Amino acid sequence: MVEIYKEKERNEKEKLNNICEECRKEDESVSQNLIMHGYKNCDSCKISKTIFPI
Ligand SMILES: [Zn+2]
């Protein structure tokens, strides 16, 4: 029972980690970009940053 609860809690945290810092949208590419490039952006924000770097 405890194991199931922990698993659910972990999934909730992973969900939070998938929220883009730029547009606040939830996307699974956010966590991938965080691992790959070190910033929490979704793919569409990543592309706009690449084309228009601030
Ligand atoms: Zn975004």
Q: Provide the residue range defining the domain that includes 41.
A: 19-54
Ligand 1 center to 14 CA (angstroms): 16
Ligand 1 centroid distance, CA of 50 (Å): 13
**Distance in angstroms (rounded) separating the CA atoms of residues 26 and 40:** 11
**Inside any domain, residue 5:** no
pTM: 0.61
Going from the Cα of 43 to the center of ligand 1, the distance in angstroms, rounded, reads: 7
Structural domain includes residue 24: yes
Q: Is residue 3 part of a domain?
A: no
Domain tally for the chain?
1
8: in domain:
no
Round to whole Å and give the CA distance between 41 and 22. Answer: 6
CA distance 37 to 28: 14
Q: How far is the CA of 7 from the centre of ligand 1 (A)?
A: 27
Q: How far is CA 34 from CA 1, 4, 28, 39, 52, in A?
A: 32, 27, 10, 5, 19
Q: What pLDDT, in 10s, does the model give residues 1-54?
A: 678 888 888 777 665 679 999 999 999 999 999 999 898 999 999 988 777 665
Asked if residue 14 belongs to a domain, the reply is no
13 located within any domain: no
